[in-house]
Amino acid sequence: ALQTVTANVSRGGMLLVTEGRLSPGTPLSIELHLPDRSAPIRLTAEVVRSTPSNEPRKPGESPSAETGVRFVTLEPGDRASLIHYAKANADS
């Protein structure tokens, strides 16, 4: 199980900061934990692209990558919750 940071969300996918690059086409099972929801959002996605991040690393830290994924399965209600949360927190 990998833990990632979600950097950007759109209707069709999201940008994740992952430990290392992932190959395009890699299927992912994702569990998103939003602070305003008690239950996580569960979805499946597919890696579209993964490029090395330019973020500075601490000594001994694995290189990170910016990984773009497209949603494969995401319940309509969960999609609405995710988009609403992203819009509400876009300026933070």
The Cα–Cα gap between 42 and 18 comes to 18
Over the stretch 29-68, which tens digit does the pLDDT of each residue have?
999 888 888 899 999 999 999 998 877 666 666 678 999 9
Q: What is the pLDDT of residue 92?
A: 53
What's the pLDDT score for residue 81?
Answer: 87
Q: What is the pTM of this model?
A: 0.80
* Closest to 41 (Cα-Cα) out of 50, 51, 49, 32: 32
Residue 39: how many CB atoms within 10 A of its CB?
9
Residue 82 phi/psi, 5-degree rounding, is -65, -45
With H, G, I as helix, E, B as strand and everything else as coil, classify residue 77: helix
Q: How far out from the chain centre does Cα 4 lie?
A: 7
